[in-house]
């Protein structure tokens, strides 16, 4: 029989961080607004100065506050990249399967087409076409990988959503790992998939663009599986390349 597990007390530093975030939110503080002094915070929160400083350093690390030595503490302009860096590290350190990257791409990049079609202009479309032309002419796996990544990052930029733009960090990891497996084998198929997508975008056909993007991402499934089988001919666990 499974034993009842003891209730774990929430880390005090974490509780202090949450209290400070609640204070910022409830008082509608914005970038540049000053926070109370350490003395006031330690008294209000009833914690030691060491605990408070740990919490403040953690909040500064994720970009929520700025500590100015000799001046005080201020609410920062929120930087999405700081948060994404922490999330990326937490996810990638667990070495997720390539299939998980593909699932994430399907959810985000297919849905992205609504914003891309809405915001796309002729200049952006020409830049995408030029990038894809260079993909079709790439002569090394490294060049192909970088250009392919650039193509998808351009789509994220066209969407003009700062949170989605940071998804490029995840994309980069996917393309690097995929390139180690398939090398140049996917170049022609990738360029053709991009051409189909560009045709749908030029026609401003959102549904067609979503269908093309979905098929384009799914083409990675058999390619990666084929190369994993070559790496593990004896029937290995099928894990992703490191």
| 218-239: pLDDT as tens digits | 887 655 555 444 544 444 444 3
Confidence of residue 82 (pLDDT cuts 50, 70, 90): low
Contact 110, 213 (CB under 8 A): yes
| Three-state secondary structure call for residue 236 | coil
CATH number at residue 156: 1.20.120.530
| Three-state secondary structure call for residue 25 | helix
What's the pLDDT at 2?
A: 47
Total structural domains in the chain?
2
Average pLDDT (157-164) is 89
Q: 128: closest CA among 44, 56, 212, 196?
A: 196
171 shares a domain with 117: yes
Q: Is the confidence at residue 9, as pLDDT, over 90?
A: no
Q: Is the confidence at residue 206, as pLDDT, over 90?
A: yes
Q: What CA–CA distance (Å, rounded) separates 177 from 241?
A: 6
Boundary-marking domain end, from 45, 75, 105: 75
Contact 169, 104 (CB under 8 A): no
Q: What CA–CA distance (Å, rounded) separates 212 from 79?
A: 32
What's the pLDDT at 154?
A: 95
| Three-state secondary structure call for residue 4 | coil
168 shares a domain with 203: yes
CATH number at residue 49: 1.10.10.10
User: Strands (DSSP E) along the chain, which ranges?
Assistant: 65-68, 72-75
118 shares a domain with 38: no
214 shares a domain with 103: yes
What's the pLDDT at 167?
A: 76
219 shares a domain with 106: yes
57 shares a domain with 27: yes
Boundary-marking domain end, from 75, 93, 117: 75
Q: What CA–CA distance (Å, rounded) separates 184 from 77?
A: 42
Q: What CA–CA distance (Å, rounded) separates 14 from 119?
A: 40
What's the pLDDT at 231?
A: 45
What's the pLDDT at 183?
A: 74
| Three-state secondary structure call for residue 203 | coil
157 shares a domain with 185: yes
Confidence of residue 6 (pLDDT cuts 50, 70, 90): very low
What's the pLDDT at 197?
A: 98
CB burial of 175-190 (b: ≥16 within 10 Å; e: otherwise) equals: bebbbebbeeebbeeb
User: What spatial distance separates the first Cα and last Cα of the chain, rounded to whole Å?
Assistant: 39
In a domain, 239, yes or no: no
Contact 152, 193 (CB under 8 A): no
Confidence of residue 25 (pLDDT cuts 50, 70, 90): confident
Residues 93-137 have pLDDT tens digits of 555 566 777 888 888 899 999 999 999 999 999 999 999 999 999
34 vs 170 pLDDT, higher one: 34
200 shares a domain with 113: yes
167 shares a domain with 184: yes
What's the pLDDT at 202?
A: 97
Residues 6 or more apart from 112 whose CB is under 8 A from it?
Answer: 155, 156, 159, 164, 213
Contact 149, 186 (CB under 8 A): no
CA distances to 44, 67, 80, 219, 226 from 175, rounded to whole Å, are: 49, 37, 22, 14, 17
95 shares a domain with 158: yes
161 shares a domain with 93: yes
What's the pLDDT at 1?
A: 47
Strand partners, 10: none
Arithmetic mean of pLDDT over the chain = 81
Confidence of residue 242 (pLDDT cuts 50, 70, 90): very low
- Residue ranges making up the domain that contains 183: 82-231
Q: What CA–CA distance (Å, rounded) separates 39 from 37?
A: 5
156 shares a domain with 127: yes
What's the pLDDT at 164?
A: 83
What's the pLDDT at 85?
A: 54
What's the pLDDT at 136?
A: 96
Percent of the chain at pLDDT > 70 equals 75
């Amino acid at each position: 029989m499974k034993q009842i597990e003891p209730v774990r007390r929430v880390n005090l530093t974490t509780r202090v961080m949450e209290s400070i975030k609640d204070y910022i939110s409830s008082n509608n503080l914005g970038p540049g607004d000053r926070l109370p002094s350490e003395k006031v915070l330690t008294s209000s929160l009833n914690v030691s100065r060491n605990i408070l400083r740990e919490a403040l350093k953690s909040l500064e690390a994720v970009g929520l506050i700025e500590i100015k030595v000799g001046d005080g503490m201020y609410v920062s302009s929120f930087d999405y990249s700081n948060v994404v860096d922490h999330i990326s590290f937490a996810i990638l350190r667990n070495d997720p399967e390539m299939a998980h990257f593909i699932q994430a791409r399907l959810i985000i990049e297919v849905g992205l087409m609504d914003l891309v079609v809405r915001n796309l202009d002729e200049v952006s479309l020409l830049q995408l076409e030029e990038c894809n032309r260079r993909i079709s002419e790439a002569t090394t796996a490294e060049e192909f990988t970088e250009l392919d990544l650039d193509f998808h990052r351009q789509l994220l930029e066209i969407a003009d959503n700062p949170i989605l733009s940071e998804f490029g960090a995840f994309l980069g990891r996917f393309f690097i790992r995929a390139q180690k497996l398939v090398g140049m084998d996917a170049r022609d198929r990738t360029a053709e998939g991009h051409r189909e997508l560009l045709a749908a975008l030029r026609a401003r056909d959102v549904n067609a663009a979503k269908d093309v993007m979905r098929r384009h991402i799914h083409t990675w499934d058999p390619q990666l599986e084929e190369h994993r089988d070559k790496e593990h001919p004896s029937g290995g666990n099928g894990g992703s390349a490191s």
